[in-house]
A and B are shown apart, each in its own frame.
Chain A
C-alpha cells in the first residue's frame, strides 16, 4: 500500500505546500500501472490554486444544489470562490447568504430533506455557533458535506490554523476526513458525496483542510473531467430515507425515547444504526477512493497511509498537512540509518482502529503528533485514539504524545526530527515521557 515516494527529497522543508505540490503527481496503486496509458491520453487540465479554491472546484464538480455561506477566516475565500462559480454560471446551485453559521446548516438541512445535495464550509467559532444543528445532522442521517478549514478555538483569540475546532466535534457523529494536499482537498470534497450518500452510510462528512497551510497555499492542481466525476458520483438520491415532501408525507424527527413503551428500544435502534453506518463507512471510504482512482486516475490512501513503514522500528503518526514535513524528516532519518516510518491518518472518524493497529504492530515505539489538545487527558486527541488501537495488540508498544502547530505555528522538519529522536529514546527506555509541546520554545 506504500506510495511511490517523493520525487525530490531535497526541496527545502520550510515550504510544505510546495512539497505537497510535488507529491501531487499521480501515484498508482501497485498492479494498476495499466491506467497510466489511459491517463497519457487524457492530458488533464492543470491549474494553480489554493486549498480553498480547490474545495470550491470540488463543490462545482459534484453538482451541488444548494450552498449556504457565512464568511469566517480562514474559510472566507472558499465561499467567495463558490459564489463566483455560481455567479459565473459554472455551478448551478442556490447560494444562500444567511445571517450566521447556525442558519447555514439549518438551511441546508431543510434543502437536503427536500432532496438537495448541499455544501458549506466553516471553522472555529463558526463551527461552535452551528453546533446545535450540527449535532442533529448525523442523527437524521443527512448525507451532507462540509469543509472545516481548521482553525484553533477561542480563547486566546486566534484566527490561525490548528485542529482544535474539528477535534472538538470529533464525537458528534460526522465522518471526518483530513487532507494532506491541495489536490487531495479537491478530490476528497467530491469523494465525500459518494461516501455520505452511500445507502449503507447516510452520514454527513467533514472534509478538513488546514487553515493557512492548505487554505491559502497555492499548488498545482489537476482538474478532473466533469464526465468522469459524474460517472463516479452516479445519480443523486439524498432523501430516499427521510423527506419533507407532500408526495411522501411523514413526521420527521418525532419525539423518541423515554422510559417506557416502545421508546427505549426505538431510540437504541436509531443510535445503533448510526454507529453501524459509521462502521460501514470504513469500507465505503476505501471503495470510494478506489473508484476515484478508476474514474479519474488518481490515488489517495483512504483510511491511513503507511509511509516507509517497511522494517520500521519506530513510527510517527500524523494528521493533515504536517505530514509533508514529517515525510521529509523520515526520509532524512532513513538516510541517516534510522529505521523510522510514518502512518498518516486520513480517515479520523470513523477511527480506522484495525488498520492503525496492523500498521503499528511491528514497531517498538510510537510518537503521535497532534495539532490540538485533549484537555481531559493532557495529550493530543489522536494520540489517545492511537493508544486505543495499541491497547488491543498482544505486545505493549510505548507511545508518546507530541503537540505542535497550534494557532498557525509551523511544524517543521526540525520539529519532526526532534520527535524522531524522542521516539528512538522511548524505544530504548520503554517509559513514555510527558506530552511534549513542539512549539514551546519557538
Chain B
C-alpha cells in the first residue's frame, strides 16, 4: 500500500482556539461558522486538553465500502478519499462506516461532508499558529526515497529495533552511490556494514577509519578525488563517542579547515557497541556501565557535551540536529547537508535512541525518539553562517520531561534533585539556542 501526505494532529500543541475550524468552514462553505468545519476540535478527557475528529483518509476506507452509490472513492494518486456529490444519495451509511467521525452530515449543506485536504494545501494547517496541525510530507518523501536503492545489504546485525540502522539506511539512500563512506568503530560497522572476513555489508566504497580520524581520512579522500576533477561526496557515519571524545580533535580540525565532508554523528549517548559505557554525550544522571547505579553511584554526574553547538562555533557551512521521529525534517536537512558538503564542512547530529543501552522495549524506539524532541531533551534546529541558527521545530510548550524519562530504564533511578537538574539544564540549553536563533521557528 502506498503512503500519502496527510494531516497530523499534535494534541500536545493544540490550545483549542478553533482557528482551524473557522478556516475550514470559510474554505469549504464560505461561512465562518466553525460548526460547519469538516475538522472538529473538541475538549479532551482531561480539562485543558484537546482532541480532533477529522478524516484519516484510511488506506482501506470503510466509508467507501459502505457507500451503495459509489459516491466515495480513494484517489490512488493523492490518497484522499473523495466525495462525489453527483453520485451521493444522502443515505448516511458512510457515517456508520467511519469509526473516526471523519464524515458527517452537514445540515446546512444538506449532505455529508468530509475533509478533502483542500487539494493538498489544507486551510486548517495553514491557520494553526501552534503547530498542532501539520501537513505531513513524510509520505511524499517515502514515495521519493522508496525509489532509491538501499545501499546496505539486508540483514545487518543491529540489535532489535535499532534506530542507528534506520539513520544509516535512510541517509545513504539520499546520499546515493557516488560517495566514500567512513564508519569509525562503533555500532555502524559493528552491525556489519564494512564487513567481516572478506565480505562487506555496504554497496558503496566504505572503510573503517580509526575511532580517532574519520574526518582526517575523509579530508584526504575528498581532496585526492577533487585533484582528479571528481566530485565524490565524503561521508562519515560516526558515533557520538568517537566524535565527541577521542575523535574530536580530527573533527574539529577538519571543520576549522572547511574540509568538504558530510559528517553525520549518530548520537546514542555513549559507547553502546562496546557495552554501553559513558561518553561525553551521555546526559546527566544516565546509567551507563561505567556510571553505574549503586549505593553511592547515581549515574553520570556531568551534563552532556553539546557537540552540535560546538560545531556551530566552528562556523561550519552547515550544522543541524535531527531525529528519526521527524523524518521529513531529517530528509530536508540531509538535502541541505549534502549540498553543503560539496563546498564546506557539513555536520548533522542525529539522535538515536538505543533500545539495548537505554533499556526500553524495541518497539518503542520511534516513540522514545519523538518524546525526546517533544520534551525538549533534544531540540531540532539548523545553522548556516549566512542565516544563523533557526529552530525547525518550535521548542515552546514542551511536554513534561517525565514523559521522556519514565520511558527509559537508564533514568529509572533518578531522584527529584536529578530531574530538577536536568530540567534546568534543558531550559538553559533552549535559552542559549534561542539567544543564537535569528528567526522564529518554521511553521
Contact = CB atoms under 8 A, between A and B. Distances in A.
A and B touch in their complex, CB below 8 angstroms: yes
Interface string B166-190: 0000000000011110000000010
B220 A258 contact: no
A222 B222 CA distance: 36
A248 B177 CA distance: 11
A335 interface: no
Contacts of B253: 98-100, 103
B203 interface: yes
Nearest to A110: B220
A246 B202 CA distance: 12
A253 B227 contact: no
A99 B250 contact: yes
Residue in A102, A254, A261 with the greatest tally of chain B CB atoms within 10 Å: A254
B221 A244 contact: yes
A96 B249 contact: no
Contact of B220 (A100, A116, A245, A256): A116
B1 interface: no
Given A102-B249, A116-B227, A245-B180, A254 B208 contact: yes
A245 B217 contact: no
A248 B205 contact: yes
A45 to B, nearest CB: 28
A125 interface: no
A132 interface: yes
A362 interface: no
A308 B206 CA distance: 54
A235 interface: no
A106 interface: yes
A82 to B, nearest CB: 16
A107 B200 CA distance: 24
A309 interface: no
Contacts of B200: 250-251, 254
**B209, B220, B256, most chain A CB atoms within 10 A:** B220
- Scoring B203, B213, B218, B250 by chain A CB atoms within 10 A of each residue's CB, the highest score goes to B213
A384 interface: no
A115 interface: yes
B208 A103 contact: no
A247 to B, nearest CB: 9
Nearest to A255: B196
B216 interface: yes
A317 interface: no
A46 B208 CA distance: 46
Chain B interface main SS type: mixed
Nearest to A257: B197
A114 to B, nearest CB: 3
Contacts of A112: 220, 224
B129 interface: no
Given A110-B219, A133-B210, A262 B224 contact: no
B213 A263 contact: no
A66 B224 CA distance: 8
B309 interface: no
Nearest to A252: B207
Interface residues of A, number: 45
Contacts of A406: none
A106 B220 contact: yes
Given A103-B213, A106-B216, A112-B220, A244 B207 contact: yes
Interface string A255-269: 111100111001000
Contacts of A113: 207, 217, 220-221, 224
A252 B207 CA distance: 4
A97 interface: yes
B8 interface: no
B207 A65 contact: no
A114 B217 CA distance: 10
B274 interface: no
Nearest to B198: A266
Contacts of B222: 110, 114
B393 interface: no
A78 B228 CA distance: 27
A245 B200 CA distance: 15
B108 interface: no
Contact of B221 (A65, A114, A250, A255): A114
Contacts of B356: none
Contacts of A109: 213, 217, 220
B397 interface: no
A190 to B, nearest CB: 21
A245 B210 contact: no
A94 B227 contact: yes
B26 interface: no
B224 A115 contact: yes
Interface in B50-90: none
Given A99-B256, A246-B177, A114 B225 contact: yes
Contacts of B256: 99
Given A250-B205, A254-B200, A132 B210 contact: yes
B364 to A, nearest CB: 30
A110 B217 contact: yes
A297 B100 CA distance: 91
Interface string A115-134: 11010000000000000110
24 contacts: A66-B224, A68-B220, A96-B219, A102-B249, A103-B250, A103-B253, A106-B213, A109-B217, A109-B220, A110-B218, A110-B221, A113-B220, A116-B227, A133-B210, A136-B210, A244-B205, A244-B207, A245-B180, A246-B177, A248-B205, A249-B177, A252-B194, A253-B207, A255-B208
Interface of A: 65-66, 68, 94, 96-100, 102-103, 106-116, 118, 132-133, 136, 243-246, 248-258, 261-263, 266
Given A94-B223, A97-B257, 17 more contacts: A103-B250, A106-B217, A109-B217, A109-B220, A113-B224, A114-B180, A114-B220, A114-B228, A116-B224, A116-B227, A118-B220, A244-B205, A244-B221, A249-B203, A250-B205, A252-B207, A253-B207
Interface of B: 177-180, 189, 194-210, 212-213, 215-225, 227-228, 232, 249-250, 252-254, 256-257
